[in-house]
Structure 1
Amino acid sequence: MNRFLPHVTVAAVVTDRERYLLVEERNRLRPDATVTVFNQPAGHLEADESLIDAVHRETLEESGWEIALEGYMGLYINTAPNGVVYHSHTFLARPVRRTNETLDDGIIRADWYSLTDIQALECQGRLRSPLVLRRIHDALEDRLYPLTLIRDLDHPDTAS
């Protein structure tokens, strides 16, 4: 991966009754570390894939949950400690059903957390990036745009 080119990723803020879906994963920046980190279901956009298809796929692969998208939260840009710049397209979603118990390699588990729980994880330095809590605060502020904001001429069937 070229750390000088932005990496296009997707993330889902999945909310249910004031709880948020997070995945616990091995720290990929320090594979030898015993401390795990927490993140929203997220991952890289694959070749010939729409953003909407990617967020559905990544959420299912990392958490086992099918989701329904509520809207587009926006583009979040962050430079990781290793210098890689991420352009993360973030969506607000609600859970539909848990369908898959097998999670992506590196994912330990997916579970539901309150805002207080997530703030405690931040204090422990266990959030994968500052984006995790920023996205949740933005969701609480209803920073949401219609899915039709995304104009994907290569994938017209996934516009909304």
Structure 2
Amino acid sequence: MSYREGRFWQPDVTVATVVVRDGRLLMVEERAQGKLVFNQPAGHLEPDESLSEAALRETREETGWDVKLTAFIGAYQWKAETDRHYLRFAFAAEPLAHDAARELDEGIVQALWMTPAELQEQQARHRSPLVWQVVQDYLAGRRSPLSMLQQIA
């Protein structure tokens, strides 16, 4: 059970949401490690929160958009160069309403709609390889029912 140097290993559990409107993807431009990067609305799972609740909250906090989750795209495991391990749970969603007056999360420069081609052209500025992989899977039609994910109380 122990990890290097007596520490316990625990991956970062994150959620991401692919929101599509008129063929465009809702993305965030954010500051991360001193760079301006692109990401889906995404963030960490908080205590006492389901994965779907986290996806809805993060999307609202980072973009000002309320969305309806429509499908589960997949689960992704990635080890960053910093040796941090991430487990990302990705969802597909439809936009419902936008609150233009909402202040966006710290670090978020802007929320914007990009075509898949525009996003791919900016691949060097993706926050992680997970960004494009999730979009590729979405575009390939990878969808599972939300009922695949269950929270046991």
Using the size of structure 1 for normalisation, the TM-score is: 0.87
Instruction: Give the RMSD, CA atoms, in angstroms.
Output: 1.4
Aligned position for 1:144: 143
Q: 1:11-160 alignment to 2 at 5 Å?
A: 11-27=16-32, 30=33, 33=34, 35-99=35-99, 100-122=101-123, 125-154=124-153
* Separation in 2, partners of 1:119, 1:128: 13
Which deviates more from structure 2 when the two are superposed, residues 96-105 or residues 44-53? 96-105
Unaligned runs of 5+ in 2: 1-6
* Separation in 1, partners of 2:21, 2:136: 15
Matched, 1:8 2:13: yes
* Separation in 1, partners of 2:79, 2:98: 32
Using the size of structure 2 for normalisation, the TM-score is: 0.91
Q: Which amino acid aligns with 1:9?
A: T
Unaligned runs of 5+ in 1: 155-160
Q: What's the CA shift string for 1:21-78, capped at 9, x where partnerless?
A: 1100002xx2xx3x40000000000000111111000000011100011101111111
* Separation in 2, partners of 1:79, 1:65: 29
* Separation in 2, partners of 1:67, 1:73: 16
* Separation in 1, partners of 2:87, 2:75: 6
Say how many residue pairs are matched. Answer: 146
